[in-house]
């Protein structure tokens, strides 16, 4: 009986996570369409090392969605966390940050306690117009 409850809980958590990812993907898709409709200029996205000391060029173009320039949406509607491991190779060849699922709440569970709904971050970026953040 207990095992059944644990499995049911795990399945419910998996469904919740899947639903959140689908909603976040929808928000990002709407953002990209609206950014294009408004003619928001894209920029070449830059990745930073974990310690913040190194900057690496990427092959990505899109829009930064936070002031720290560490989260972005590319022109294909993919969410990127632009923090990468420090690497000498990336200094010369650039970094290749992989897209990941966008969180509905950006920064949730972080040490600084600051979190912002993705919807608000995307709207702020649209409202900011052509500025980077």
CA distances from 33 to 27, 28, 38, 46, 74 (A): 10, 9, 9, 22, 12
Ranges under pLDDT 70 in the chain: 109-113, 130-133
Q: What is the pLDDT of residues 18-32, one digit of tens each?
A: 999 999 999 999 999
Count of structural domains, the chain:
1
Domain that holds residue 90: 2-128
Q: Does the residue 133 lie in any domain? A: no
Task: Give the pLDDT confidence score for residue 111 in this predicted structure.
Answer: 62
Contact 2, 35 (CB under 8 A): no
Q: What is the pLDDT of residues 99-111, one digit of tens each?
A: 999 999 998 766 6
Check: pTM over 0.95? Answer yes or no: no
The Cα 32–Cα 65 span in angstroms is 11
């Amino acid at each position: 009986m207990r095992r059944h409850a644990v499995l049911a809980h795990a399945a419910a958590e998996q469904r919740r996570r899947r639903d959140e990812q689908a909603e976040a993907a929808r928000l990002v898709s709407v953002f990209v369409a609206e950014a294009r409709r408004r003619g928001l200029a894209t920029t070449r996205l830059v990745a930073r090392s974990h310690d913040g000391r190194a900057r690496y060029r990427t092959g990505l173009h899109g829009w930064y969605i936070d002031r720290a320039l560490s989260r972005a949406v590319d022109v294909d509607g993919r969410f990127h966390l632009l923090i990468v491991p420090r690497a000498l190779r990336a200094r010369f060849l650039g970094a290749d940050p992989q897209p990941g699922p966008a969180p509905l709440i950006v920064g949730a569970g972080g040490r600084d306690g600051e979190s912002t709904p993705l919807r608000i971050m995307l709207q702020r970026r649209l409202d900011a117009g052509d500025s980077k953040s």
